[in-house]
Structure 1
Amino acid sequence: MASSSGRKVQQIGCPAHPEAHLIEDYRAGDQICSVCGLVVGDRVIDVGSEWRTFSSDKNAADPSRVGGAENKLLGSSDLSTMIGDARGAASFTADGQSKYQNRRQMSSSDRALTNAFREIALMADRISLPRTIVDRSNNLFKQVHDGRNLKGRSNDAIASACLYISCRQEGVPRTFKEICAVSKISKKEIGRCFKLILKALDTTVDMITTGDFMSRFCANLRLPNYVQRAATYIARRAAKELDIVPGRSPISVAAAAIYMASQASEDKKTQKEIGDIAGVADVTIRQSYKLMLPRAAELFPPDFNFHTPIEDLPEL
């Protein structure tokens, strides 16, 4: 028996003009010779869109029937069939009952996942997070949901904690208060879920440093680059090299460094302005700043152009 690999595949072409280009008539499903017009193939399957999509027309309904993208995180992979409302006399029995009914509804597990994924996407959109973080958050939530490790915790709290973890793992950390601002959950509850998820999934996140927030905070405050560089230098010297702010969070140290650098420049910012952007209280900035002020001469970069001398910086 000859192997199937040895068979030659028959090529469609015009007998009289084998080298001629074939034209495909998608409406009739024919292949036509471009030289003599001979129909050399019929019943060609059109793999294109069934209808033209008018995506720019908001008033017209899109007749595309391809549906949404497949989500492999769901048990049904989004392939469950949902029958719409019955219309016309042929859709009803003599008793008035609908002939076609949904035999398969979305499972409660898929419904919970779908709601959580929607909540994660909404939160990420509010703080302009990329799609990679949304996908990582969805995967984290799926692992927690399948493992049933956080029973009794609300799905919204778990979703918020997954988004916080994903931000840190992707190298673009957000503060708890930033996540709280776009979520319905308290900072305390998100923190609890954060610790439980790390323990349940046996995963880790990198330690937060002052540099993770400095560029974003300074950009939101509209500070020039030289002030941002000085604040980054001050925070690194105070937290790592000189260790004069022990026990202080990186966010409060970053906020205090921005305050010190801005007060020494001509673009001065108040504690309240910085606190609103960084999400820390004025008293927190003040406490870190008081620890740094006595050694301010050692904290500024050598090439910093002082608009206000160090001895004239506010003592609070």
Structure 2
Amino acid sequence: MAAAAARRGPPGANRVCCPEHPDAHLIEDYRAGDQICSECGLVVGDRVVDVGTEWRTFSNEKSDKDRSRVGAAENPLLSGGDLSTMISRPSGSAGFNDDGSAKYHNRRSMSSSDRALVNAFREITGMADRINLPRNIVDRTQMLFKQVNDQKSLKGRSNDAISAACLYIACRQEGVPRTFKEICAISRVSKKEIGRVFKLILKALETSVELITTGDFMSRFCSNLNLPSQVQRAATHIARKAVELDLVPGRSPISVAAAAIYMASQASEEKRTQKEIGDIAGVADVTIRQSYRLIYPRAHELFPSDFTFHTPIDQLPQL
């Protein structure tokens, strides 16, 4: 009745108003969905729609975070900004019709290119999680993949290979390099294929990566081997001096680092075998032996001056 009286209002009026106080300001109660006259309190309209921001906040609860729920973050790498709703597979009886079919379905509104990107991004995130890589490396990897995908210069190569190679490049660009074997272990692509795609991506994007050194892997390898800091410092010094003296020409930094760790550990109390070091560094025992033989003849020049020997240099293994 109140709504009808409001509609009758003054002659010629097209707005909702109080029949007794047509010029009075109306108060909108969004919780109840009513419009109320500020003079007499008459409800002159109902079913008011709230056109404000549609979110819910938990900031008043006992929490250190403002847990405002406004949907998923927009992904600038997708053409549509990823502003779509994905309905998961129903798990209870309420999600199915009587004939067993699902009540709700996803609309096929996402383009095929965006679906490929979403799948690749999911694979990149999964690979990064397996070796505990931070978010900034995931973001850089996804950006590299997006650039390669837009150029369409690697047609014929699988997205898995491109994702793995982009992750390898991102790790090196962010200063936390991983070996090809480490990337191969968390992907479904061979080491050789990752190496091929890696070179193609550098050429296609006209970018480069810093050369890896023995120091890039030393702290991680020694930490995984539970070696003390003194052994780590000695191994770092040995590897650096071996490179400066040109004792290991043509050898990869990983094999040189592994040989230096082996020499430093054998001279200390915390000895590690070639197999233990090879399993952590991802190199074969024979590779460690070959690099060790190159640096052993000048071992007395490689150790730091403050190193405490538990095993003298002349008693180190002669492989």
TM-score normalised according to structure 1 size: 0.76
Deviation at 1:130, TM superposition (A): 0.5
State the one-letter code of the partner of 1:157.
Answer: A
Deviation at 1:76, TM superposition (A): 1.3
Residue 233, structure 1, aligned to residue 241, structure 2: no
Residue 49, structure 1, aligned to residue 49, structure 2: no
Residue 295, structure 1, aligned to residue 303, structure 2: no
Contact 2:238 2:303 in 1 (8 A): yes
Tell me which residue corresponds to 2:187.
183
Distance 1:227 1:51, change over 3 A: closer
Which residue, out of 267, 286, 300, partners 2:289? Answer: 286
Contact 2:55 2:69 in 1 (8 A): no
Which residue, out of 237, 248, 253, partners 1:250? Answer: 253
Deviation at 1:106, TM superposition (A): 1.4
Distance 1:82 1:315, change over 3 A: closer
Supply the distance in 2 between the matched residues of 1:163 and 1:294 (Cα, whole angstroms): 39
User: CA deviation digits over 1:243-269, x for unaligned, max 9?
Assistant: 101000000000000000000000000
Which residue, out of 260, 263, 267, partners 1:260? Answer: 263
Distance 1:238 1:82, change over 3 A: closer
Contact 2:54 2:70 in 1 (8 A): no
Gaps of 5+ in 1: 1-24, 31-41, 54-63, 92-99
Residue 223, structure 1, aligned to residue 227, structure 2: yes
Residue 156, structure 1, aligned to residue 174, structure 2: no
Mapping of residues 1-316 of structure 1, within 5 Å = 27=31, 47=53, 49-50=55-56, 66-80=70-84, 104-239=108-243, 241-316=244-319
TM-score normalised according to structure 2 size: 0.75
Task: Please tell me whether Structure 1 or Structure 2 has the larger radius of gyration of its CA atoms.
Answer: 2
Distance 1:296 1:178, change over 3 A: same
Distance 1:152 1:266, change over 3 A: same
Distance 1:306 1:175, change over 3 A: same
User: CA deviation digits over 1:110-161, x for unaligned, max 9?
Assistant: 0100000000000000001000000000000000001001000000000000
Q: Sequence identity of aligned pairs in percent?
A: 75
Query: Which moves more between the two structures, 71-80 or 117-126?
Result: 71-80
Gaps of 5+ in 2: 1-28, 35-47, 60-67, 98-103
Deviation at 1:200, TM superposition (A): 0.1
Q: Secondary structure at the match of 2:73?
A: coil
Note the aligned Cα RMSD (angstroms).
3.1
State the one-letter code of the partner of 2:120.
Answer: A
Supply the distance in 2 between the matched residues of 1:28 and 1:193 (Cα, whole angstroms): 61
Q: Secondary structure at the match of 1:157?
A: helix
Q: Secondary structure at the match of 2:235?
A: helix
Contact 1:29 1:45 in 2 (8 A): no
Contact 2:255 2:287 in 1 (8 A): yes
Deviation at 1:51, TM superposition (A): 7.8
